[in-house]
Structure 1
Amino acid sequence: MIPLEDVSMLAVATMLIYITLSVFTILNVVTGVFVNTAIERASADKEIASLKTLQKRNEQMQALQSVFEEMNQERGSDQLKVEDIEAAVNVDKLDSVLESLGISTDDVKTLFSLIDTDGSGAIDLQEFVSGCMQLHGPARSMQLAKMGYENKRIAASLKKLLSQVKDMQRKMNAIISVRTAVPITAVPAHEDVMYI
């Protein structure tokens, strides 16, 4: 820069602007490389996390399947009843697996009715595994939305039913008031019928 000072101050200013722009350009390239590397690692982490979640889900399903098969070997059937589930919970075969999934085994009959989707009174392997996996973990937004929708439908049906009951009650009151307002006349003694 010292020789440029002899030429002019405009040359010195141009040199300073060039150096500043070069430094910012190099910093921008280095920052871009770091950001790109971080984005690639984050996407790889997401893939690894989804693979771990899928692997954990498969392990849980296999554990449920092995418990179901073990209970079936003792019973000699391909379907379980509520008594079988209660017996398995009492000897801690099923209890530990369900507790690891976050499913409470305090009320076995309610648990069985939630798993028994077809209401047959017996559950097969597919019902058992899919029912337990649906009960696993916290409620999902889709399940909450479905429950809210069903509650709205039930409330609307109850409201309609209540209005029908009130309408029926009004009609019955009107019929009763008409019958009590009109005197009853008796017919001859040989007939047991009375007319209004």
Structure 2
Amino acid sequence: MSIAGGVSWEQVLVPLKAIALPWVLLFLFYMFFTYFAVLNVITGVFCQTAIDSAQNDHATVIHSILANKQAHLEKVRDLFNKLGAENTGGITYLMFEEKITSPEVKEYFESLGLDVWDAWSFFKMLDLDDSGAVDIEEFLMGCLRVRGNAKAIDIGKIIHDQTWQIKEQGKFQTYVESWRSGLSDFLGFRFYRI
């Protein structure tokens, strides 16, 4: 009851003083340990779980970004202007590479939780249509797409694509080998592998 607030711990100490001093010390140690160790640890665990849940809820962050899409588009427009794309309406790789180290651009990427250390790879991820330029919508959606941790579906898609590429590469190599063999038979000499 002393811990839960039903009885003041000072009222419990009076009868314990009458019995013996070691009981008073044991009770004070119990109160100290319970308040500072057990209750604070339990409170800390609940608070940390709530904080982690709020920070890691990727879907909530994406939903809030999409809900505030107009505000983000304005930020991206400002960023495009800082990158020098006000006339063209798009960012080229050279413009992106030139301004990637500027504080404004770094600050924008940090606000999205992106760590852009390789400008070329990041630009290629944003430029899905391989046009050589990224417009505002493509930039915003690309940043949102590469933001956060990889999900199982992302890894599954990569495995599927890579398996397909290996199979197609094998077909191509078989075709080249048969073509090379036919060519060497036709020309009357043998090609050797290097």
TM-score interval (norm. to shorter): 0.5 to 0.7
Q: Structure 1 residue 61: deviation in Å? A: 5.3
Aligned to 1:86: 97
Aligned to 1:68: 76
* Aligned-residue CA RMSD (Å): 3.2
8 A contact 2:113–2:148 mirrored in 1: yes
Q: Structure 1 residue 59: deviation in Å? A: 7.6
**CA distance in structure 2 between the aligned counterparts of 1:116 and 1:53, rounded to whole angstroms:** 23
Amino acid at match of 1:129: L
Taking structure 1 as the reference length, what is the TM-score of the superposition? Answer: 0.55
Task: Give the unaligned 5+ runs of structure 2.
Answer: 1-52
Taking structure 2 as the reference length, what is the TM-score of the superposition? Answer: 0.55
In terms of mean alpha carbon deviation, does 71-80 or 107-116 score higher?
Answer: 71-80
Aligned to 1:153: 164
Distance 1:148 1:108, change over 3 A: same
8 A contact 2:126–2:138 mirrored in 1: yes
Distance 1:63 1:170, change over 3 A: same
- Counting matched residue pairs gives 132
Q: Structure 1 residue 117: deviation in Å? A: 1.6
Aligned to 1:57: 65
- 1:80 is paired with a residue whose SS is strand
Q: Structure 1 residue 55: deviation in Å? A: 5.1
8 A contact 2:93–2:133 mirrored in 1: yes
Aligned to 1:11: none
Distance 1:50 1:105, change over 3 A: closer
Partner of residue 166 from structure 1, selected from 164, 168, 177: 177
Q: Structure 1 residue 164: deviation in Å? A: 1.3
Overall identity of the aligned pairs, in %: 18
